[in-house]
Structures are given as structure tokens and as C-alpha cells.
Structure 1
């Protein structure tokens, strides 16, 4: 009896185990359909949106299997149709809609996922995928899961076709992306109940990658068109190892900016690692910077090529060759996006820089291509009747990042045949805490040295700008070229020393100049003046005698100094005078940067001077856009007399002892105190005399 009872217990346990195993087997064969509703509820709770499984309407009713789950030797889920609802505030029909969706993961990863730990997915296959993602201006997002949670890594993907719609009101993005596979399904299914494993855009182990993606829409108000081709030859994917590199070709058109990339992508899901060669053509560097989220200056047309690498949150750019207008440069940058404030660091090496190519950077009028791009962004660089650039700076970009860039320029050209290039030039650009500074701007050569630094504080809505400039030992004869087609004579020569300190406030170059204050001081030593210039500015007698004085048709400048006082955009020469052999010259009047008007007079008098001998051979009035230059008839008559009497006077001057002009000596190297003494005529200053005459 006891033996029977003991065996009965074992039989009962065995029968129960058999029933359980049969139940599991039946459930496994049927695909665990009773778990569909609990899984829908669990996923809905986890995602925060309604998740539902359903049959695919395109599948015949007799063949429909809406939900299939396998739990032996791993978790394999196949759903004919899965839909995730959109938020109530969204205008899209759903957040996600996928057909013939299948996912495989190990039992260990399934356990980790159940307990909220990080996990990975072996394979995901989808026949058709439709996703709609949105972010509103107030911060609302389609699903908080994408913002707060860490998504699992996926070893292998298989997507036949996908459509992704993305709208972001903060970054002004509204695009639609379409992905298509270029291959037919060829991998045999593992089970008769599971759909075939498809070769999609990203495919299975041992097969090549082939697919296309197109993106159309708008970015920051500009039309965007993008195309990607995934070619063959990708590295095979092995179990347990992340996907291999996928070769790709990308072409994009953003407004008038063209970009082409040819490289390989190692991490498709997280987009954390890729290498590519690029070629870029844009009407301005600023447009490319907007697309990359980098503060870059407005420039003339930009064309460049090089290498682009992304590793984690850091971008690396090596520019092998770039042209901005007619300027040529090379560069290497690192852009770190992992911190709260992105940092751009690197070095720019410029072989030749034309200053006119950087005109748009300070708001100046760009070329036609740049102007079209500026208009497309709602900005204009030209104002009727004005010449100073008034287009507003993009101060918001300066507040969004930091920068530390070294600049080395071999040659700077001024876009005029009258000025010699500067060789070389060095500068250090820094952007920190909304303050943009360009310091250690220095060009040094045997012909002189220039040193400058300026700061633009963009913390407030109206930027504050300040600059300091110093020039030492600048030899004018090596900086100023003769006029093309002339006799080769330099208009003026000598050594210039001076400094300037300026400051202003505004949102554009024109606004800063309208509020400009500060002072400018300069002195000329060992100076000489061309006879052609003396013909216009000198008195008739002094002009003719200066033209006859050897050697090389030049006259000595005994002393020259300038002190300019600037207040609220108005420039007033407190001292601009030059004492030349035979006469003295002054500049009087005002120049307004706020109204862009000119009222300047060149005054000359024979030496020794007296108020009665003072006259005005040259006067400039009007506006910057339409200046009115008036030359005295007396000066014109002097030039005519010079051409008639100069040969005779030269012969007479050569006979006078001690008339040799060496261009040196104490008389040619006067201090500014001597010029201040020459600035008064009969005890009165030039400005006082001109004001008295105006009455």
C-alpha cells in the first residue's frame, strides 16, 4: 500500500510535468497568442504610448498570424503589424507603424530587459516601417523614451523599406526620409511560422549591403535634398560583434550649399563613428556653419575638400584645400559636442588672404552668390544710400558655443593695387562665455610691425566692441605702391608710428561705427612727398619750387602728425598737420560715421604762415556714397605753371649750394611737438580761423 502511494505521487508529478511540457509545446507551436495583450500593456506602460498588435490587412485572412512568439533557445517575436500611437497633441496618425516586424534576442538579454537593465538585440527585420517624430518649440517630444532612456544596441538590421518623418520646431527642421533595399529576400527562414529573413538596407551576416535613402524637406527655411547610396563591399557581420563598416556615398543640397561625402559608417544605429572624404561648395562659410551648428563667419564663396571623421561626440575635420573667394587656406579642426557648450578648436593656415573675401564677415556687401544666400535667410547686406555694412551679426550663434583657433596667414592682400600685401600675419581667435576675441593680431617684417586686438561681447542683445591698434616703424614706401600707369614714383615715403584705441556698441558694423568713440594718433618721420601731390596741396609758388627741387621730384616733409578725437561716431581732427619745404598743410572739419557725411578741408599756407596766406586747395563734402571733391582753381593753375616752368627751375635749383635733398637729418625727423607749433597761425589754430571765416 505504501509502495503504491509512493509510485502514485511520482506518476502524478510526471503527469503534471508532462502536461506542462505539452502545454509549453502547444503554446510554442501556436506562438503564445495569449501573451499578446499582456505584452501590449507592458510596452505601453514602458513607452508611454499605446502599443497594439494586429494582423496585416494585406495578408489573406487564412494566412494571418498577427502575433508569433518563440521562447525556446532565445526570444523571437514576429508581429504582422505593430502600431504605436502618437501623442494627443500631435497631428500625425501614429508614432510608428511597422509590418512584418521580427526581433530576436537571447534569454539573458530578455532577462536584463525585463529587469530594466541595459541589453542588446541580435536581429531586427522589418518589411515596411513608418515613423513620425516631432519636437515642439515648448519642448514636447513624440515619446519621452527617445529623450530619457538608453536605447538597446542592435547587432543586425534588415529593413526593406522605411519612411521617417521628422519635424523639429526648435531647429526649424521638417524632413521626410525614405529608405529602400536594393536586394530581394534570399535568406531561408528558421521556422515555418516566422517570416523570411530579409536583406534590407542593413542586412544579415555574410551578405553585402545595398540600399538607398533620400531626404527631402526644409532646414532653417532653406530647401533640403539629400541622397545616400549604400554600396557593396561592407565588412561581414559576425555573431556577437557590432556591425561592420558600411560604405556609402552621400550628396546633399541645402539652399545653394552643395555637400558630397564618400566614406564608411561603422555604427549605423548611434551614428557615433564614421570616416569620409568630403567636398563642399557654399555661397558663404556661415551657411555651412549653420548646418553643422558651428559659429562660422560670413564670407565670400566657399569651396573646400578634405576628410571628415566622427568618433563619439567629437567631430574632426581636416581641410586639405579650401578657397574663400580668391583666398586659399588649409585647416584642421576638432568640434566637441559632448559638453553643454560645444567647443571648436584647431588651426587655420592661409597661403593667400584677400581682405575683400572676408567683407561679409563684418557685414559688408558680398558677391552675388552670397547676396542670394543672405536674402534666402531674410538678411540683406546693402542699404540704399549707405556704404557702411549694416546687416546684423548672428549673436545667438556666438552664445551657443566656444572656440579656440590659431590663425597663420602667409600673405594678406588688400584688393587694391595701391597697397602692398602684408607678410606674414598671425592671430588667435577665442570664443568663451559669449565673448569673441581676436588677439595677438600681428604682422612683422623689415618694413614695419602692426599689432592689433579686438573684442566683441555678445552677452547682451546689443554687442559691445573694442579694439586697440599699434603700428611701429612702418615704412610707407614699401606699403604704398605707385599708381598704375604713372611714372613709378611713390606718393609719400617715411616711417610711421602710432596707436589707436576705439570702442562702440551695436548689432552691426554700421551701428558700432555710429557709436564709435576713442582716439587715433600717428606721426611721420623722415618723410618725403611726391611732386604730383605737392602740385595739388601746396601754394602755387611752393608747388613749383617743390617740383624743381632734386632729387627724384620729391620734397621733404619736415614734420607730420595726426591726432583724431572720435566721439559718438563723429571724427574731429584735433591735430592733423604737416610742415613741408616751402609750405604747411592742415586738415580741418568733421567726418560723421553715424550719418555717413563728410566735411573736410585741406588748408595750406606758405612758410612762415599767416592767417592771410591761408587758402583751401582741396575740399571734400557730401556723403560716403556720393562725395563731392572740389579742387581749387589756383592749385590747377599751379600744376599748369609747373609743367611749363619746371625744367628751367630745376636747372636754377641745381646751382644753389646746399639745396641737396637727402631725405635725412634732424629737419626731417621732427617730433610731434614741432607739428603742434606749426598747427597755429598767428597764435590761432586752423579750426579757429576756419570757424571765423565761416561766420
Structure 2
């Protein structure tokens, strides 16, 4: 009767029942299939397809599911390509992995989970794109690269070599459940970006290579590359792209400039530093929040962002120092850090070369160290820096400072640059075009309202007011160091001073008016009024020629002529004092200033002084009292026309100086 029922059913029901029976039978076959019989065929097939030896050494087993299968290898050896240094890509006591079934139809290998037990891994990549983990006979970008989600390792060793990146690392990993949430410890040794690297730390035993949606895994690291030291702890979501990073870090080193080969961030040369903060990464954007620490003797704080979304990475930030020490500015212009700043950071060895307290005789004053402009092409930037107070300023009375640093397509601009100087303000811009070799450098700075008493603290303590100083510097030229740029620059330099008063002692010694010295000793100090002063130079290819060199006071007029060579760092000036009163014991003799920037010398001109000396000697032979006649000053000095003095100082002479000054002014934003 049952047979009759089946016979009476429609054909489609008969076909469906047959398919169900067939599928159940297939499932039963697969469930009880002796997968190990396929071990040798699988070994031969994978070896043929990849062009390198693959062997499951002991047993093969498979657990099938609807969407994925779990493959278990008891003993595995998978050789590397012949060009690789290490003989094996993977060699392990056991391995198992989950593999998605349906992507295999399109030749995609998706492995959500990979577990290796006591493995040794030999990873290597070449500049031409070859990678040992690319499957197929073509191991370049055309090879099949599996997508791995989670990786689980108990204990083993990993080697990674990428000569073109300067990377050659060996890592030993060890699994220990007593370590709690981070049972996998590691030790790394080798070279990174050409520098020796050591590192150790711990992490979770399940690493997320590129598993989307999985919880982040914990990671701790303590690393040293050269003189750069890093401590960090936090979590990472994806290891392959190093995405989803949230960590706290501490970073130390001899100079921030050393981070360029390590991280690709073009930071300036600095004094030794120690920084800490909160680091995060989402996609291509790295961010540092709550950055704080020291750069030499200066404190630093702020926030930074580094975006790798575009072909040229972009750095932005806002930094501030409560106190900035002048010794820490030297490395920015090619000078080594001083001994004070080089030893200011605990745990960082000072650089091999630091400046001495006393400059060696004959040493150059202008920095000659080549500035590394090549790295300026590696990224774009917009960073603002502010120093609330500047200390250790020595002869330059800097109070505070701020600068906006912009870098675009190899052109670096410091604009606006704003410094508080002696109660006044120095503002302007500096532009460096590193796309050219040597670099095209332009500087345009204006000084407004600096108090002269702040430049000479001894005058300030007397209670004298010496008025204000205004000035400017407009220089342009080419060079790869501060010295070569200044040595070939052209433009205009000028300093102007208005009315004020200062103690009598300074002009007395400057003019060698002997009678005034006697009056000062007998009657005490008295004030001398400064009518005006102008010191202006035309600069032509590093040679500074005095255009207007005038200081006019109520008791003397000083005019000077001469030159200073920025290329040779030499001085050659002659100062002519013109007293405005009749004085006895005056030598009214020109003063000369010569020598070098590092070792200037001064004195009286020998010729005029010798003439007066011979006259005094001859008269003294007749009567010693008559010898005083040779030193009587009739006071021919006249007041300077301050309007004409300022007008002359305010305009560079036509030619190279005027052209250089005009080019320098182009450094400022319109």
C-alpha cells in the first residue's frame, strides 16, 4: 500500500525526496569520511600550486560546517620560496584554521581564525613586491594573499626581513596563562630602519590581524631603537593596518629629528626630549592628546594630529611652553645642544657633540652644520607654537614668543613669527623653499618699540630711560646652512633709536673725552640726551656695508664707516667721535673695531693718535704744561639732522641690496 502511495505522488515530490536522501547520505559520508587519506594528495596539490614544498607530517582532519570548515593539521611544514632567507614560511607541531567555503569559488582565501602551536615563521618581503606569505607561483602582488582574522599562538619564533625598509627582526614568543589577560609575552631583537632595535612586552594570545567587529586586544611594549626609547600600553583593534589604537605612551630620545627615519614624521632637530600622552589611530589619522614633557630645559604641551590619507602626509597641532630656554633653540639652526640642555633629560645619553662653555679660538660663530631640507618634502604641516616666557636669554632680552609653522610641497614658512623683545615686538616671517638646492631662504622681520635699557641692563638699573629702538631685517639668498645662507645673502638691515637719556659714563669712555672723565669723577653722574641713532647696512652677497652709522647725543656726535663680512665673519669699522664742547685732555681720535665675530678687537686709530702724541712730546720739552695744548678739543661737532639720518637709514641703496630686500619681503603673507 505504501508503494502505491509513492507511486501516486507527483514527480516533483519524488525528486525532492531523492535529493534529501542524497544530501543526508553525503553528510553521513562527510561526517565519517577518513580525511587523513587525503593527506598525501593535499600535500602534492598544494606543493604543485604554490611551487614550494607543503607537507602535513602526521595527520589531517576536517570539521565541516554550513559556511566554513575547520581544518586541523597534526604537524605542518610549508617551505618558503627559494629566494627567501628562512627555509620555512610555517613549521609547527600543530595548526588549525577556519576557512570560509563560498569565497573559495572565486579563488579567495578567507581565514577567520588561525591557531599555531609551537610555530616558527619566516616572513620576508622584497622591494619588487614579492612576499613569502603570498600563495601561488607568483609571490608578488599578483599572488593570492589570504585574509586572516584572528591569529592564536602559544609559543614560538617569528623572523621578519624587509631589506628595502631597513627591517630585520627576530621575535621569541611565549605563552603563559599565569600572566592573566596578556598571556603572550615577546622579545624582539634586530634592526629597524637601519637602527638597532630591542623590544619586549606582552599581549593577548589572540591577535586580531584584520578581524572586523572583534573586541580590541591588549598590548604592552617597551622598545628602544638607537637612542629612541618607547613605552606604551593600550589596545589595538587590527594588527594588519595597525588600526583602532588606544594607548598611553612615554617617548625619550636625543632629538625629535631622529623620528623621521623611524616614523616618517619630519620633526626638527631638538635637544634631548621626554614626552608622554594619549595615542589613538582611526583609519589613516593618528592623534596625540594631552602631550606633555620636556625638550631639553623647556617644557612642552599640546595636541598633535598626523593624517596619512593623502599621498603626502599632513601634520597639524597646537603646542605651548610655559617656559622656553634659549639653549634649546640651537639645534633648530644647526648648533649642537649646550651641555645644560644635553643633560637635562634623565635617562637619555647626551649627544656625542655638545657645545662648550667657552668657544674655541678662531671658531665660527654662525652655524655651519648643513640643515636637512630633504625631509621637508616628506610631508605637509601646520603647527602653532607659543612660549609664554623665555629664559636664559643672555644678551638678547626675549620675553615671549609664538610662531605658526607651515609646510607645503617642500616650502616651509614661519608666518606669523612674533617675539617679545625688550618690552617691544619682533614680528615677521621666514620662508625656506626646500624644493630648490641650495634652498631659497628669505627672512623679513620688523622690530618695534624695544627699550634700549633692556638691551643694556646696567643702564636700566640706573633708572635712566633711553627711549625705544625700531629696526628691520630683510635678507634673501640661497644656502643649506645658516652660515652659507647669510654668507651669500643680499638685502637691508637697519636699527633706529629716538630720543632718550642715559648715564654719562657710557659716551665718556666711547669718545675718550678726558675732560669729561675728570668732571664725572669730581661732580658725579649727569644725564646725556640721545637725540637720535641709526645703524643701517646694505647687504650684497654677504658683505654688510655701512649705509648710515650715526649716534647723536647732546655732548658728542658719532659717525662710523666700515664693513662686516657674513661669509668670512670679519669686522672692519672706524668710529669718528665729534665732541660738542670744549674739553681738555681729549684725544679726539677715531676708534677702530676689527677682528672676527668670535673675537672682535677695538682700539684707537694709530695714525691720528701718533700725531697728537708727537705734538704733546714736542711742547712738553719746552714746558710740560704746554703739552696739554695738544689735547685741547675745540668742540667742532655739530648736531646731526635726525630727519635726514632716519631717511637715509630707511631706504637701502639701489642695486643688489634693494633687490634682495624686496625678495625677502615676499616671505610675508599678503
Same fold (TM over 0.5): yes
Q: Does 1:70 align with 2:87?
A: no
Q: 1:25 to 1:96 in 2, by over 3 A?
A: closer
Q: Does 1:173 align with 2:171?
A: no
Q: How does 1:184-223 map to 2 (within 5 A)?
A: 208-223=181-196
Deviations 1:482-534 (A, max 9, x none): 24xx9923798221122221112122222212212211122110133443322
Q: Does 1:482 align with 2:457?
A: yes
Q: Is the 8 A contact 2:115 2:152 kept in 1?
A: yes
**Which secondary structure does the structure 1 equivalent of 2:118 belong to?**
strand
Structure 2 CA distance, aligned partners of 1:14 and 1:464?
A: 81
- Measure how far apart 1:374 and its partner are: 6.0
Q: TM-score, normalised by structure 2?
A: 0.76
Q: CA RMSD in A?
A: 4.2
Among candidates 630, 643, 665, match of residue 671 of structure 1: 643
Alignment match, 1:531? 504
- Measure how far apart 1:92 and its partner are: 3.5
Among candidates 297, 307, 310, match of residue 326 of structure 1: 297
Q: Does 1:514 align with 2:490?
A: no
> Could you say which structure has the greater relative contact order, defined with CA pairs below 8 angstroms and 6 or more residues apart?
2
Q: Does 1:572 align with 2:562?
A: no
Structure 2 CA distance, aligned partners of 1:614 and 1:555?
A: 19
Q: How does 1:56-205 map to 2 (within 5 A)?
A: 64-65=58-59, 67-73=60-66, 74-105=68-99, 109-116=100-107, 119=110, 121=112, 123-136=113-126, 142=132, 154-183=148-177
Alignment match, 1:36? 42
Q: How does 1:460-609 map to 2 (within 5 A)?
A: 460-477=436-453, 479-483=454-458, 488-489=461-462, 493-541=466-514, 543-544=516-517, 547=520, 553-607=526-580
- Measure how far apart 1:574 and its partner are: 1.9
Structure 2 CA distance, aligned partners of 1:550 and 1:168?
A: 83
- Measure how far apart 1:432 and its partner are: 0.6
Q: Does 1:453 align with 2:429?
A: yes
Alignment match, 2:589? 615
- Measure how far apart 1:308 and its partner are: 1.1
- Measure how far apart 1:363 and its partner are: 0.3
Alignment match, 1:204? none
Which runs of no fewer than 5 residues in structure 2 stay unpaired?
8-13, 354-358, 610-638, 650-670
Deviations 1:306-362 (A, max 9, x none): 111122221111244221121112110111123211111110112111222021111
Deviations 1:161-181 (A, max 9, x none): 243323333432322222221
Among candidates 372, 385, 389, match of residue 407 of structure 1: 385
Alignment match, 1:190? none
- Measure how far apart 1:278 and its partner are: 1.5
Structure 2 CA distance, aligned partners of 1:266 and 1:243?
A: 7
Q: Is the 8 A contact 1:542 1:583 kept in 2?
A: no
- Measure how far apart 1:18 and its partner are: 9.0
Alignment match, 1:422? 399
Q: Is the 8 A contact 2:55 2:78 kept in 1?
A: no
Bigger mean CA offset, 430-439 vs 172-181:
172-181
- Measure how far apart 1:542 and its partner are: 6.8
Deviations 1:184-237 (A, max 9, x none): 9xxxxxxxxxxxxxxxx9xxxxx84311112212234432211112379x99x9
Q: 1:85 to 1:492 in 2, by over 3 A?
A: farther
Alignment match, 2:315? 344
- Measure how far apart 1:591 and its partner are: 1.9
- Measure how far apart 1:149 and its partner are: 8.1
Structure 2 CA distance, aligned partners of 1:136 and 1:602?
A: 69
Alignment match, 1:436? 412
- Measure how far apart 1:541 and its partner are: 4.3
**Which secondary structure does the structure 2 equivalent of 1:460 belong to?**
coil
Q: 1:143 to 1:492 in 2, by over 3 A?
A: farther
Q: How does 1:256-335 map to 2 (within 5 A)?
A: 256-335=227-306
- Measure how far apart 1:547 and its partner are: 4.3
Structure 2 CA distance, aligned partners of 1:165 and 1:294?
A: 27
Structure 2 CA distance, aligned partners of 1:584 and 1:80?
A: 100
Among candidates 395, 400, 408, match of residue 373 of structure 2: 395
Q: Is the 8 A contact 1:226 1:250 kept in 2?
A: yes
Q: 1:669 to 1:404 in 2, by over 3 A?
A: farther
Alignment match, 1:643? none
Deviations 1:245-287 (A, max 9, x none): 3333321122222221122233344420121112222122212
Q: 1:276 to 1:468 in 2, by over 3 A?
A: same
Deviations 1:417-476 (A, max 9, x none): x443323x3321111101111101124699322212001111133211101011222222
Q: Give aligned pairs, total.
A: 588
Alignment match, 1:683? none
Structure 1 CA distance, aligned partners of 2:223 and 2:516?
A: 65
Alignment match, 1:685? none
Alignment match, 1:359? 330
**Which secondary structure does the structure 2 equivalent of 1:291 belong to?**
helix
**Which secondary structure does the structure 2 equivalent of 1:461 belong to?**
coil
Q: 1:151 to 1:409 in 2, by over 3 A?
A: farther
Q: TM-score, normalised by structure 1?
A: 0.74
**Which secondary structure does the structure 1 equivalent of 2:266 belong to?**
coil
Alignment match, 2:622? none
Q: Is the 8 A contact 1:53 1:79 kept in 2?
A: no
Q: 1:469 to 1:98 in 2, by over 3 A?
A: same
Structure 2 CA distance, aligned partners of 1:117 and 1:178?
A: 31
Structure 1 CA distance, aligned partners of 2:270 and 2:20?
A: 83
Q: How does 1:652-663 map to 2 (within 5 A)?
A: none
**Which secondary structure does the structure 2 equivalent of 1:399 belong to?**
helix
Which runs of no fewer than 5 residues in structure 1 stay unpaired?
56-63, 185-200, 202-206, 377-381, 636-666, 678-695
